[in-house]
Amino acid sequence: MARPPRPIAWLHANLGFGGGERVLVEQVRAMEPTGRPVDVWVTVGDSPQELAPAVRAANRHVRRIETVVSASTLARRLFFARYEAIFTCWTVRAYRALRKLERVPCWRPPVVLETVHERYGWCIEHDDGRRSRLVDHWLATYDFRDVLSASFGVPLDRISVARPLFASLATPDAEGARARGRALRARLGIPPQARVVGYAGRLSGNKNLEKLVALVGRLAGRGLDVHLVLAGRHAPPVPDFVARLDAAVAAARAPGSPLAGRLHLLGPVEDTREVYAAADVVPLLSHMEGLFPLMLVEAMALGVPVVTTDVGGIGTCVTDGRDAAVVAKVPDDEREPTPAVVAAFEARLGRLLSDDAERARLGAAGRERVAALLAGNDFHADTRAALERALAQGPRRR
């Protein structure tokens, strides 16, 4: 009689709305056909948990989703669960728990797979050597295997690539989303003839939203009938960035400002697609991203044109003037964009907002490009293959 499959686990800081957390949901979904029992341990006590229902819905073999904020308690849970594999993602408390277990004589270590979304410095830091010591196999969301190999001193055969482009990013009810977008515009009091720049995602420093607020204000000051809709939450709430964004918002809302009455802050929203559908253009002025931000994929799937920098893997997915408006971020070095890059982004956004035909053309081309990318990718199969490869290799000799 065949032995039942051993369980696997995910250790993650939170399950709030975010690209990395949605990748976790799809990793869990990928494991559903294997029949392996699945646990998810959340390591930050006050973190948002909106995606917990989505994790359960993704895989009928999910046993538990629990929050454990003590490394010692987490170590005990891991010890008794006897996992065959554990997925981590820059989760410091997870590394501490695993280090504690290394000192237990009867501990049978699982294979540890680390998901890495970006090739920038902060994503490939060692955390005092804990990551390079504890991780057995690396799962990159696009092909920067050479960077991972050099940074952590691991052979290329210990690194797999699974691009997070999955079928659920396509909008099954595009017309329904557009209807909700029109309703959102009406609720916000945006006139039908006005142009809307719409952003829905993390309010984080790498997105340069304070610069976006200022540059849309300059476009309005030059006579463009434009509104800016911002949806999302600070994740994480970094005081310096929060202060900069608050200052930009206060300036934009001040009496006499070109954006006074035209800046709409929605806070966290469950249906990001209605924000994209309400927009004439979706912008992403990032200085640091992974493969292809999910907000761009979802906006383009609705036929909404995007203006974006070419950071991370974005430039490998879309082409300037063909299926998106792409501004070169020079250099692509995880630093904030230079004034020249911001000026180029502003000019490109202004031209697109003023050109109905170009928006329609880029929107249609973008929708076709996303459909092709999704059809040519199998994230779930690639994730399962990475796990089986890691299990076959086993733990690294430390």
Contact 36, 67 (CB under 8 A): no
> What is the DSSP annotation of 291-345?
SS-HHHHHHHHTT--EEEE-TTTHHHH--BTTTBEEE--SS-SSSPPPHHHHHHH
Tens digits of residue pLDDT in 243-254: 999 999 999 999
**Alpha-carbon torsion angle 79, 84, 120, 22, nearest 10:** -100
Tens digits of residue pLDDT in 252-263: 999 999 999 999
Tens digits of residue pLDDT in 341-369: 999 999 999 999 999 999 999 999 999 99
Scanning the structure block, which residue is given the tokens 């200022």? Answer: 214
Q: Which residues contact 264 (CB under 8 A, 6 or more apart)?
A: 188, 190, 227, 228, 229, 230
Determine how many CB atoms are found less than 10 A away from the CB of residue 12: 24
Per-residue model confidence (pLDDT) at position 171: 80
Q: Specify the CATH class of 170-375 in words.
A: alpha beta
Higher pLDDT, 50 or 305: 305
Phi, psi of 107 (to 5 degrees): -70, 130
The length of the chain, given as a count of residues: 398
Phi, psi of 116 (to 5 degrees): -125, 120
Q: What residue spans define the domains of the chain?
A: 8-166+378-393, 170-375
What's the predicted TM-score (pTM) here? Answer: 0.93
User: What SS3 class is residue 181?
Assistant: helix
Strands 282-284 and 263-267: unpaired
User: What SS3 class is residue 319?
Assistant: coil
Per-residue model confidence (pLDDT) at position 2: 65
Q: Report the chain's terminal Cα–Cα distance, integer Å.
A: 35
Token pair listed for 54: 């989505």
Q: With 70 as the cut, is the pLDDT of residue 285 above it?
A: yes
Scanning the structure block, which residue is given the tokens 């280090």? Answer: 99
Q: Looking at the domain 8-166+378-393, which fold is it?
A: Rossmann fold (3.40.50)
Tens digits of residue pLDDT in 101-125: 999 988 889 999 999 999 998 888 8
Mean pLDDT of 58-82: 96
Mean pLDDT of 75-85: 96
Strand segments (E) across 101-220: 111-116, 137-140, 159-161, 195-200
| Rounded distance between C-alpha atoms, residue 75 and residue 392, angstroms | 24
Contact 65, 42 (CB under 8 A): yes
For 218-231, b/e burial (b = at least 16 CB within 10 A) is: ebbeeebebbbbbb
Per-residue model confidence (pLDDT) at position 381: 98
User: What SS3 class is residue 188?
Assistant: coil
